[in-house]
A and B are shown apart, each in its own frame.
Chain A
């Protein structure tokens, strides 16, 4: 569907792209999804504590279709306390929720899988401990080709 652009059109398109580029730098290209609401729903409104979650993702994913992800809760969770759930969210995906791991008292609080990411974004993990506290961590990942098929 490509056609030869006239000189004038080329200039206009170029200027447009430049303006779009500026806009991109100022604010994200696509509106973020309802990830904040999803976190609230998961924590029941409680504010999660930053840190103690190790979220491993490659710095750069060439293919957003299969991005290896592993998540683990670091350090002792305290006597009789274990990690119950870890929710992974992708704020710039069409849907915020990615996966929700559920653990038992016998579990080691870590898990790995492969996920799809639509574009460059900060992936978030929120963990729920059995004593009612929540932990949160995020990590930026650059995505070259999105994996949500559009």
Chain B
């Protein structure tokens, strides 16, 4: 999975303290289940993104552990109330240890 372009959308970047930010993320990945067989009957090995995390200034905000029952090109939507300005870092890690990263800045006033 070479050139993977993650997409991240925030509903706002200027946030009033106490407000909720809505985050939507999408990344392309086959999410091969490890249950399918190829034409010769051999099992295609599992190859999925197994973790996703979102951090604000290095502090954990949201994350999840994925299994093969998550659809290809995993999509997540989550919400949080940021208490400080800074950089949101998004990280996806797959079974081969490949890391896909994205970052966004938000300002809390």
Residues in A lying within 8 Å of B, measured CB to CB: 65-67, 70, 90, 93-95, 97-104, 106-108, 110-117, 147-150
Contacts and interface: CB of A to CB of B under 8 A. Distances in A.
Main secondary structure of the interface of A (DSSP, over half): strand
Contact of B61 (A107, A114, A117): A107
Contact of A149 (B36, B59, B75): B36
Interface residues of B, number: 29
B35 A102 contact: no
Interface in B1-46: 20, 33, 35-36
A18 to B, nearest CB: 30
Contact of B82 (A106, A115, A147): A106
B35 A94 contact: yes
Main secondary structure of the interface of B (DSSP, over half): strand
B83 interface: yes
A129 to B, nearest CB: 16
10 closest Cβ pairs, A-B complex: A108-B79, A149-B36, A112-B77, A114-B71, A98-B69, A100-B65, A66-B71, A102-B63, A97-B67, A101-B64
B74 interface: yes
Given A107-B79, A114-B74, A148 B35 contact: yes
15 contacts: A67-B71, A99-B67, A100-B64, A106-B81, A106-B83, A107-B79, A111-B76, A112-B75, A113-B64, A114-B70, A116-B69, A116-B70, A116-B71, A117-B69, A149-B33
A103 B75 CA distance: 17
A33 to B, nearest CB: 11
Given A102-B65, A106-B82, A112-B76, 10 more contacts: A65-B71, A97-B67, A97-B69, A99-B69, A101-B62, A102-B63, A108-B78, A112-B78, A113-B70, A113-B76
Contacts of B78: 101, 107-108, 110-112
B33 A148 contact: yes
B80 A104 contact: yes
